[in-house]
């Protein structure tokens, strides 16, 4: 039997592919719900992710998976409009004329930034197209060094720095230009006249998770079942110890896939990964009235959140019983952060007060529900030299033959973590197991 630790998208994708190849697979999930970071809440209509999610046009493996599961026609490509809140004003940034009208950058700065987002280096006499394709080249350069050198100092100060600050706070000067470039490419596809093209499932990402669970078979998945030990003897994996229903049981395995954050890998195997993680605090606010005109609003000032994301400006509110749904998104760099320390009541009050000060017309009596999700390891801190820290897919030399890793610290989740990356990591591991057990 092949044991999978973790029932997030990576563990489920690994299980799905191995089962398709004829292996007997069992998935053990510690929580009572599957899906990990993509787990959902119920609403008056469709379920919705606890943490905002969408697909980028560049992501192919997850689309292929959806097609294989008969869900190809459930992926909807929509326009995700963007705005930037600066000095009390919302600046929409979707169409060329909106970008031209943005007052906090000169035309020349916009041209330089525009060229960079198109992957064109205009520093020489002849423009270099596809200049930034090899991300590894920028692994050891900071975002500031890169942006200042490849555009202008004011592009960094007036545009990039506030975004970086909102996401990485005091760690912003550690972040690599490779992450920045990957992100530009990752979110790069636009409809020239309308804005960014993003994907979402009709019914939410829970539809994909449910189909994966059905394909793997409920009988092969156990929830409320944390794996507490992984035994390696004579250089290879032997068994997993699983807690379930107040009892501990040992399961013999031919291979084990750890599809969790790397701290769990360390506790199970002793393999230590040096990647730092940031936490996320994410509110989902149900309102009777809309707050924003955009889907995604980055906030360029010292607010207790980095972005406001009005989901129902992306997917119609009729799908959620008519409510307007707004995510309030904040990242914390460590658990000493003030926001992380607050209880949910404190977070709610702090955020509502900030929204009131940003949008004087906002009336908190229109809020009918306010749910808060937290995760201490929501994303890696993509610092310089990150690629040296990723965990290999097969830990044969580091831990023992038959021990595999498909979690967020794997190479598939670079330069940005995503559901697509989780599917790729699951597949990478399944292919390696297949090749090794086939020998």
Residues that bind ligand FAD (CB under 6 A): 5-11, 28-31, 36-38, 51-54, 226-227, 259-260, 264, 280, 282, 375, 378, 407-408, 417-422
| In the complex, minimum distance from the CB of residue 107 to ligand FAD, in angstroms, rounded to a whole number | 32
Give the span between the Cα atoms of 370 and 300, in whole angstroms: 24
Report, in Å, the least distance between residue 367 CB and ligand FAD: 21
CB-CB neighbours of 220 under 10 Å:
15
Strand partners of residue 367: 287
* Cβ proximity to ligand FAD, 160 vs 282, nearer residue: 282
Nearer to ligand FAD, 160 or 227 (CB): 227
Instruction: Report the nearest approach of ligand FAD to the CB of residue 423 (Å).
Output: 9
Alpha-carbon dihedral of residues 351, 355, 357, 361, nearest 10 degrees?
A: -150
Among candidates 322, 379, 52, which has minimal Cα distance to 200? 52
Between 9 and 308, whose beta carbon lies closer to ligand FAD?
A: 9
Q: Is 246 helix (H, G, I), strand (E, B) or coil?
A: coil
28 or 159: CB nearest ligand FAD: 28
Nearer to ligand FAD, 105 or 378 (CB): 378
* Distance linking the first and last C-alpha atoms of the chain: 17
Q: How far is the CB of 129 from ligand FAD (least distance, A)?
A: 28
Place of tokens 């119920």: 42
Number of neighbours of residue 337 by Cβ within 10 angstroms: 18
Q: How far is Cα 149 from Cα 151, in angstroms, rounded to an integer?
A: 6
CB of 413 to ligand FAD, least distance (A): 6
> Closest distance between ligand FAD and the C-beta of residue 109, in Å?
28
Residues 55 and 75: beta-carbon distance below 8 Å: yes
Residue nearer to ligand FAD on the CB measure, 114 or 203: 203
The token duo for 363 is: 């009336």
DSSP state at residue 239: E
User: What are the tokens at 424?
Assistant: 């790729």
Query: Which of 3/131 has CB closer to ligand FAD?
Result: 3
Question: CB–CB of 310/291 below 8 Å?
Answer: yes
CA–CA dist 170, 168 (Å, integer): 6
Phi/psi for 191 (5° steps) reads -90, 115
Give me the least distance between CB of 360 and ligand FAD, in Å please.
28
Residue 384: CB minimum distance to ligand FAD, A = 21
C-beta of 58 vs 341, nearer to ligand FAD: 58
- From the CB of 262, what's the least distance to ligand FAD, in Å? 11
Say how many residues make up the chain.
Answer: 439
d(CA 120, CA 133): 10
Nearer Cβ to ligand FAD (141/309)? 309
- The candidate with the shortest Cα–Cα distance to 36, out of 314, 403, 379, 428, is 379
In the complex, minimum distance from the CB of residue 132 to ligand FAD, in angstroms, rounded to a whole number: 22
For ligand FAD, the closer CB: 54 or 319 = 54
Q: What is the dihedral of CA 32, 37, 40, 41, to 10 degrees?
A: 80
Phi-psi region of 431 (alpha: psi -120 to 50; beta: other; left: phi over 0): alpha
Contact 69/211 with Cβ under 8 angstroms?
yes
CA distance 138 to 356: 41
Q: How far is the CB of 106 from ligand FAD (least distance, A)?
A: 32
Residue carrying structure tokens 């597949």: 427
Joined together, the tokens standing for residue 64 give 């292929």
- Cβ proximity to ligand FAD: between 54 and 144 the closer is 54
Q: Report residue 398: phi and psi, to 5°.
A: -80, -35
């Amino acid at each position: 039997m092949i044991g999978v630790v973790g029932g997030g998208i990576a563990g489920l994708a690994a299980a799905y592919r191995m089962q398709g190849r004829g292996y007997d697979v069992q998935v053990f999930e510690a929580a009572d719900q599957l899906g990990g970071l993509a787990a959902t809440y119920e609403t008056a209509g469709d379920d919705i992710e606890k943490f905002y999610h969408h697909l980028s046009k560049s992501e192919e493996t997850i689309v292929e998976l959806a097609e294989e599961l008969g869900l190809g026609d459930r992926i909807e490509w929509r326009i995700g409009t963007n705005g930037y809140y600066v000095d009390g004003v919302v600046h929409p940034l979707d169409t060329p004329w909106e970008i031209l009208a943005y007052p906090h950058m000169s035309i020349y700065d916009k041209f330089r930034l525009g060229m960079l987002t198109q992957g064109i280096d205009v520093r020489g006499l002849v423009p270099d197209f596809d200049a930034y394709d090899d991300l590894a080249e920028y692994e050891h350069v900071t975002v500031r060094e890169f942006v200042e050198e490849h555009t202008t100092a004011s592009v960094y100060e007036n545009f990039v720095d506030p975004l970086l600050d909102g996401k990485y706070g005091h760690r912003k000067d550690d972040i690599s230009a490779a992450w920045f470039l990957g992100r530009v490419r990752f979110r790069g596809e636009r409809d020239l006249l309308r804005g960014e093209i993003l994907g979402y499932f009709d019914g939410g990402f829970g539809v994909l998770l449910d189909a994966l669970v059905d394909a793997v078979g409920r009988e092969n998945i156990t929830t409320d079942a944390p794996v507490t030990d992984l035994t390696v003897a004579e250089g290879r994996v032997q068994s997993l110890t699983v807690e379930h229903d107040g009892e501990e049981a040992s399961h013999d395995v031919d291979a084990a896939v750890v599809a969790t954050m790397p701290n769990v890998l360390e506790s199970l195997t002793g393999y230590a990964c040096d990647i730092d993680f940031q936490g996320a605090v994410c509110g989902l606010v149900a309102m009777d009235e809309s707050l924003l005109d955009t889907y995604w609003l980055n906030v360029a000032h010292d607010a207790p959140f980095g972005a406001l994301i009005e989901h129902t400006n992306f997917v119609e509110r009729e799908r959620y019983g008519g409510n307007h749904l707004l995510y309030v998104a904040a990242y914390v760099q460590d658990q000493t952060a003030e926001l992380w320390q607050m209880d949910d009541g404190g977070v709610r009050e702090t955020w509502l007060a900030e929204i009131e000060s940003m949008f004087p017309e906002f009336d908190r009596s229109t809020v009918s529900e306010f749910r808060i999700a937290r995760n201490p390891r929501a994303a890696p801190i993509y610092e310089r030299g990150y690629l040296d820290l990723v965990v290999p897919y097969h830990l044969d030399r580091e831990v023992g033959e038959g021990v595999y890793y498909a979690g967020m610290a794997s190479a598939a989740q670079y330069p940005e973590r995503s559901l697509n990356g989780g599917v790729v990591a699951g597949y990478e591991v399944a292919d390696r197991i297949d090749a090794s057990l086939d020998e």
